[in-house]
Amino acid sequence: MGSSALLTSVDSYKIMSIKAPVVAPSAGLQPACIDFTADSAEVARRLIGVTLLVDGVGGRIVETEAYDQQDPASHTFTGPSARNAAMFGPPAHVYVYRSYGLHWCMNLVCREAGHGAGVLLRALEPTHGLEVMRERRGLQDPRLLCAGPGRLAQALGVDHGWNHRPVQAPSFALLWDGQPVDVLAGSRIGISKAVETPWRFGERGSRYLSRAWSTKPSASSP
């Protein structure tokens, strides 16, 4: 997989319809159609630029990471457990876990039920419900509201109670503005295994990433 991909076609999203509530028509957004039965790396790439709303609060996804059952860095690598059960469940559902006993992290499950794959949502560009997010996060700077998986979950009000929920539920919306997105790929953050796997994806030039992208090109860069 290359380190840069340009999404140019609405058809690239129209694989599996996600029936989610649409926000105000003036927002210029339409339901995004993501094939959650695809490989996690493909889903993680295609989610960049998609707007995620949880009870009307959220923004554009600008950073994701992919994980798979055959990936040593994945929670599912050692098989099913009570903690990772949602990740082995059906696709297009939410998997929520607590990181370091402190922060909730939100993932979207991929592949067929029983496989064990998902996408970690690492960062959003806040666009909807900023005042709600500011109250939840206790700060004003929009660049810090959702820059990191723990911050993102807190800003969206996501905790373990959202585990196993389907993204087709009325509480969720996955929307797209129809614009192409320039996507970077690189090494994932905060892992000690499979560090060379380029499964971190981000929007080129975004000011809302959890960590600045390395300017050093990878071996797979064009």
47-68: pLDDT as tens digits: 999 999 999 999 999 999 999 9
Return d(Cα 161, Cα 96) in angstroms, integer: 8
Beta bridge partners of 125: 60
Element housing 120 (H / E): strand 117-128
Distant-in-sequence, close-in-space partners of 197: CB < 8 Å, separation ≥ 6: 71, 73, 187, 188
Domain ranges of the chain: 4-203
pLDDT tens digit sequence for 181-219 = 999 999 888 877 887 889 999 999 999 999 988 744 333
Residue 35: what pLDDT? 96
- Determine contact, residues 62/51, Cβ cutoff 8 Å: no
* DSSP at 25: G
The reported pTM is: 0.84
> Topology of 4-203 in CATH?
3-methyladenine DNA Glycosylase; Chain A (3.10.300)
Amino acid occupying residue 17: S
